[in-house]
Amino acid sequence: MNPNRKPIIAGNWKMYKTAAEAVALVNELKRAVADVKESSVEIVVCPPFTALAAVGPVLANSNVKLGAQNVHWEKEGAFTGEIAPAMLKEHGVRYAIVGHSERRQFFGETDAGVNKRAKAALANGLRPIVCVGEMLAEREAGQTSAVVASQVRGCLAGFTQDEMLATVIAYEPVWAIGTGKTATPEQAQEVHALIRKLLGEWFGGDVASQVRIQYGGSVKPGNASALLGQPDIDGALVGGASLKAADFAGIIRGVL
Ligand code: PEP
């Protein structure tokens, strides 16, 4: 972590929790992090779309912000199964994950589509959390840097400096997501530093030094502090461990 960048810990609840279960979980989380100051860490939860309407009012005026797990680029239209930015904003959503590896792997999302989703989010006052990360075979073939650089370039194509500053990048090695295998702090730091270097080349050093880059992949209370202690790791995108208030709170406390 770098003191000039406020850490951001986001929970991706994936396809877990009904609306009623989601309300119970955020109430528990609110109690668990009641003493955490917004000035020291940004906390975000991303429940399924169907829980946003119920969870939004519960999080109003709290130190936990609401995020969504995806967003479409059009304002409205014949896009069955998709959700427009204004539909999210109506429920108090502030962040939208785009390009999660599960969207890429199982639903065919591409860097070009992720770019359109992120741009639409930004145009509507939502902050995108843009996910990138290599597959195991790519890491083993020594292609991690090339793969991540190409994803970052594709997802951020055409961004202005202001858009970049409003964006969070999540580096999530696919082999570490939901597997219990975490990148070592050194492996993660190496890729985060590469991403920041690329941002510097494209947007200038000043912008690059302000953009927050989260690590994601089996982050737990026990490994969070070591990962978040790295100079270019500015937070975590947490899947499984965000479904238990005590574990998610434990990760949040790892950055304090
Ligand atoms: C994720 O879904 O973004 C994620 C990192 O999952 P997990 O923490 O379960 O590996």
Q: What is the pLDDT of residues 127-163, one digit of tens each?
A: 999 999 999 999 999 999 999 999 999 999 999 999 9
Is 60 a residue whose pLDDT tops 90? yes
Does residue 9 have its Cβ closer than 6 Å to ligand 1? no
- Mean pLDDT, rounded, for 87-105: 98
User: How many residues are listed for the chain in this entry?
Assistant: 256
Residue type (1 letter), 215: Y
SS3 category, 115: helix
Contacts of 83 (CB under 8 A, 6+ apart): 49, 68, 70, 71, 72
Q: How many Å is the Cα radius of gyration of the chain?
A: 17
Is 35 a residue whose pLDDT tops 90? yes
pLDDT for the residue numbered 238: 98
Closest to 215 in 3D by CA, of 202, 196, 197, 201 = 196
Residue 45 CA to residue 33 CA, distance in Å, equals 13
Name the residue of 97, 214, 218, 233 whose CB sits within 8 Å of the most ligand 1 atoms, as the mutation to test its pocket: 218
Phi, psi angle pair for 219, to nearest 5°: -75, 135
Q: What's the pLDDT tens digit per position in 207-248?
A: 999 999 999 999 999 999 999 999 999 999 999 999 999 999
- State the chain's mean pLDDT as an integer: 97
Is 1 a residue whose pLDDT tops 90? no
pLDDT for the residue numbered 3: 86
- Mean pLDDT, rounded, for 75-85: 98
- Owner of token pair 């709290």: 62
pLDDT for the residue numbered 235: 98
**Which numbered atom of ligand 1 lies nearest the CA of 176?**
10
Residue 86 CA to residue 69 CA, distance in Å, equals 14
* Cα angle value 155/150/128 (rounded, 5°): 20
181 CA to middle of ligand 1, Å?
A: 11
Q: 256 pLDDT band (50/70/90 cuts)?
A: confident
CATH superfamily of 8-253: Aldolase class I (3.20.20.70)
Q: Does the predicted model carry a pTM greater than 0.85?
A: yes
Enumerate the domain spans of the chain: 8-253
- Mean pLDDT, rounded, for 102-126: 98
Residue type (1 letter), 48: P
Q: 109 pLDDT band (50/70/90 cuts)?
A: very high
Q: What's the pLDDT tens digit per position in 177-190?
A: 999 889 999 999 99
Q: What are the distances in angstroms from CA 239 to CA 27, 39, 94? A: 18, 24, 18
Q: Maximum CA pair distance of the chain?
A: 48
Does residue 133 have its Cβ closer than 6 Å to ligand 1? no
Residue type (1 letter), 129: I
* Nearest-CA residue for atom 8 of ligand 1: 239
